[in-house]
């Protein structure tokens, strides 16, 4: 009851005055506003959610098989999602078909 001057509030047996009640109310409102409007940036879950491929050596990793740092263990290159990989890299698609 931060608005009433006659109300007494106790914290651990000690009375809290009008200024203390207002302070607790303002801090509570700030925390509620922060929790409603703050959107944390979520970490990249690419490695855990889909198949990945190394663009250099074309080694594929299944769901959950890729390293956590998203780097190929062979050539230390950044992994990419497998879906649409050859659409993004058509030059590798031609090389791949020539090998077969």
Say if residues 44 and 52 touch (Cβ distance below 8 Å): no
Q: Please indicate, yes or no, whether the overall pTM of this predicted structure exceeds 0.85.
A: no
pLDDT in tens, 72-81: 888 888 888 8
Q: What is the 3-state secondary structure (H, E, C) of 35-52?
A: HHHCCCCCCCCHHHHCCE
pLDDT in tens, 19-45: 888 899 999 999 999 988 887 776 655
- Mean pLDDT calculated for residue range 81-86: 82
pLDDT in tens, 42-71: 665 544 567 888 888 888 888 877 777 878
- The predicted pLDDT at position 100 comes to 45
């Amino acid at each position: 009851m931060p608005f009433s001057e006659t109300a007494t509030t106790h914290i651990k047996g000690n009375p809290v005055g009008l200024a203390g009640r207002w302070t607790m109310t303002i801090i509570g409102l700030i925390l509620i506003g922060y929790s409603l409007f703050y959107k944390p940036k979520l970490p990249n879950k690419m490695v855990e959610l889909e198949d990945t491929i190394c663009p250099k050596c074309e080694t594929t990793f299944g769901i959950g098989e890729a390293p956590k740092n998203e780097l190929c263990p062979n050539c230390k290159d950044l992994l990419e999602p497998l879906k649409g990989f050859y659409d993004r890299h058509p030059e590798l698609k031609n090389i791949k078909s020539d090998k077969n």
